[in-house]
Amino acid sequence: MFNSKNMQKPELFWAYLAGLFDGEGHVGLYKRRRKDVKRGYTWAFVSSIINNDKALIDSLHQDLGTGYIMTETRPNVNHSDSYKLAFSKGDLKQILPKILPYLRSKKRQVELIIEAIPVRSDRERIYRELRELQPTTSSRGRPKKNAYP
C-alpha cells in the first residue's frame, strides 16, 4: 500500500505512468462467482501494466512501492516473456486519481472505476458501461480472449 512518500512524486512521473497505462495498461471491473454470497457473485477490480521489459516493470514497482509482479511465460519460443505489475483495489484508490488528468485512451474507463470503488449500488451500471467501452476484437480483427462476457 502507498505511503505519503510515494504520493509525493512529481507530476511528470504521474504523466509518464499515465502514458504507460494508456498504452500497456488494463483496468476492469468483473463479476466473480461466489456461492457463499447471497447474490452469487462479488465484484473484482483488476488493473495492471504489462510489458516485455522486466527492468521497466521492476522500476515502476520500486518507484510506486506497491503492486505485485507476475511473469507470463509464452509457450512459443519465438515470443518473449512478459511481466505484469498488478494492483489491488486499495492501490487503485491512490494511483488512478493521480494519472487521470494525463490519460487519453483509457480516461473514461478510469473515471468509471474511480466512481465504482466506493459505491456498491451503481456497480452494475458501471459494469455495463465498461463492457460497451471494451473492444471485442484485437487490432488484427481476432476475438479478444479477455473481452467482457
Q: Which residues, other chains included, contact 51 with Cβ-Cβ below 8 Å and sequence gap of 6+?
A: 20, 24, 57, 82, 83
pLDDT of residue 78: 85
Residue length of the chain: 149
Determine how many CB atoms are found less than 10 A away from the CB of residue 57.
24
Please state the domain extents for the chain.
Answer: 4-133
According to DSSP, the residues that pair with 26 across neighbouring strands are 48
Q: 89: part of which helix (H) or strand (E)?
A: helix 89-99
Closest CA to 60 of 35, 28, 91: 91
pLDDT values of the chain reduced to their tens digit, one per residue, 149 residues = 455 566 678 999 999 999 999 999 999 999 888 888 888 888 889 999 999 999 999 999 999 999 999 998 888 888 889 999 999 999 999 999 999 999 999 999 999 999 998 876 688 888 889 888 876 655 555 556 554 44
> According to CATH, what is the number of the domain 4-133?
3.10.28.10
